[in-house]
Amino acid sequence: MHDDKGENGGVPPFASLAADPTARLDALALALAAELRPVDADAVLARLDELAGEVREVANATGGELAALSFVLGERYGFTGATGEYDHPDHSMLDLVLERRRGLPIALSVIYVATAHRAGIALDGVGLSGHYVVGQFRPASAPVLLDPFGGGRPIVAPNAAEVRPWPPHETTLRMLNNLVGSYTRRNDLGRAIRAAEMRLELSMEPSLREALTAEMRGLRARLN
């Protein structure tokens, strides 16, 4: 992890995290938000630590790690999916979703993963067709999936073949795809372009980079 800090509450620049293969998902999500609007990074990290402490306490008492995670986040604090103006950019911002307890599936999943890792619980993001959840992967057993958008309830994926842990950078690309679309639909072309630029700071296949570069050029042409 790079040690250089950005100007927004000590958040490392997104570009440095995008180039760092060891960057954590919550760090990427927070840096992403900080590129687009002011964030209080210290408050976010402190809150994640507090939630992790509560999860660990419940897990130690009950012996069920994933059940403890779902209980604290889904039941005790009511983290669940945003329904009003579903695709609003706020629903992709880690700090706002943490504060309001409402968000897109992927942003809620970032909170689950970040809280779990701080509590010493293995958990990964899992991208599905049209949805995003979290999962615990163990050798010689089927993954256990939770749906943060549905309050942390266990689910079974409709297509088991697509269930795999997603690396943080792949998840971040999906978050940025959502934001490019959200800002574009609201004619906020400045932020749409910035989100499109951030996508290109991530590693990806040449064909995808070519397509995303063309999309960014189209957005810039609209701005002019």
Parse the chain into domains and list their residue ranges.
Answer: 169-223
Q: How far apart are CA 96 and CA 103, in angstroms?
A: 8
Yes or no: say if 215 and 183 are a contact pair by the CB < 8 Å rule.
no
Question: How much is the pLDDT for 9?
Answer: 59
Q: In terms of DSSP H, where are the helices of the chain?
A: 14-18, 25-36, 41-62, 65-70, 94-100, 105-118, 168-185, 189-199, 206-223
140: left (phi over 0), alpha (psi -120 to 50) or beta: left
Of 23, 185, 222, which is closest to residue 12 (Cα–Cα)? 23
Q: At what angle do helices 189-199 and 206-223 cross, to 10 degrees?
A: 160
Q: What is the dihedral of CA 153, 165, 102, 63, to 10 degrees?
A: 40
**Confidence (pLDDT) at 1:** 32
Q: What pLDDT is attached to residue 162?
A: 84
Position 3 scores a pLDDT of: 36
pLDDT value at position 5? Answer: 39
pLDDT at position 6 is 40
pTM of the model: 0.92
- Report in angstroms the alpha-carbon separations of 186 from 85, 86, 99, 116, 219: 12, 13, 23, 34, 13
Looking at residue 92, its pLDDT comes to 97
Q: What is the mean pLDDT of each run of 10 residues along the chain (224 residues)?
A: 45 94 96 96 96 97 94 97 91 97 97 98 94 90 92 88 93 97 96 97 96 96 85
Q: In the prediction, which pLDDT does 7 show?
A: 44
Element (H or E) spanning 166, and its range? none
Question: What are the backbone angles phi and psi of residue 104, rounded to the nearest 5°?
Answer: -70, 160
Dig out the tokens for 160 from the structure. Answer: 């088991």
